Amino acid sequence: MEQQETILKVKIRMAKECPKCHSKNLKEVEDKTKAIAYFNHQPIYRKKAVCRDCTYEWFPEGGAE
């Protein structure tokens, strides 16, 4: 009997529309207010969504603002 290797892929869902104005004109940027980790002395930042129409910013995966 062969063992099957299962690979778990974690995908953060990017928002599809702005929760404030419902625009679909969005961009994803790094939130550089605080590094969440360091890799080879380089900071890793959390991603946030920004509405290009109303400039509202939020964390689409349900994190704190």
Asked if residue 1 belongs to a domain, the reply is: no
β-pairing, 57-58 vs 42-51, is antiparallel
Count of domains for the chain: 1
Give residue-wise pLDDT tens across range 7-64: 555 455 566 899 999 999 999 999 999 899 999 999 999 999 999 999 999 997 755 4
- Domain of 61 in residue numbering reads as 10-65
Q: Given the structure tokens 């930042």, which residue do they identify? A: 45
- Report the DSSP beta bridge partners of residue 48: 29
CB 25 within 8 A of CB 63: no
Which CATH number belongs to the domain containing residue 48 in this structure? 2.20.25
